[in-house]
Amino acid sequence: MNSNPTIWRATVLTLFPDMFPGPLGVSLAGKALSSGVWALDARDIRDSATDRHRSVDDTPAGGGPGMVLRADVLAAAIDAAESAADAPKHRPRLLMSPRGRPLTQSGVIELAVGPGPLIVCGRFEGIDQRVIEARGLEEVSVGDYVLSGGEIAAMALIDACVRLLPGVMGKLASGVEESFSGGLLEYPQYTRPQTFEGRPIPEVLTSGDHARVAAWRQAEAEALTRQRRPDLWAPRESRKGCRMPPKSTTDG
Beta carbon of residue 140, minimum distance to ligand ADE (angstroms, whole number): 6
CB 162 within 8 A of CB 168: yes
Q: Which is nearer to ligand ADE, 5 or 98 (CB)?
A: 98
Helices (H), the chain: 27-34, 71-82, 105-113, 129-134, 151-162, 172-181, 210-228, 230-241
- What value, to the nearest 5°, has the Cα angle with vertex 149 and ends 146 and 153? 75
Phi, psi of 164 (to 5 degrees): -90, -10
Phi, psi of 221 (to 5 degrees): -65, -40
Beta carbon of residue 113, minimum distance to ligand ADE (angstroms, whole number): 22
Q: Is 150 in the site for ligand ADE (CB under 6 A)?
A: yes
**Whole-angstrom distance, CA of residue 27 vs CA of residue 104:** 23
- Considering CB under 6 A, how many residues would be counted as binding ligand ADE? 12
Among 29, 45, 96, 119, binds ligand ADE (CB under 6 A): 96
Q: Is 141 in the site for ligand ADE (CB under 6 A)?
A: yes
Beta carbon of residue 236, minimum distance to ligand ADE (angstroms, whole number): 26
**Whole-angstrom distance, CA of residue 153 vs CA of residue 21:** 13
Q: Is 107 in the site for ligand ADE (CB under 6 A)?
A: no
Q: Is 160 in the site for ligand ADE (CB under 6 A)?
A: no
Beta carbon of residue 199, minimum distance to ligand ADE (angstroms, whole number): 36
Judged by CB under 6 A, the stretch of 59-67, 76-84, 146-154, 240-248 that binds ligand ADE is: 146-154
Chain positions contacting ligand ADE, by CB under 6 A: 96-98, 122, 141-143, 145-147, 150, 153
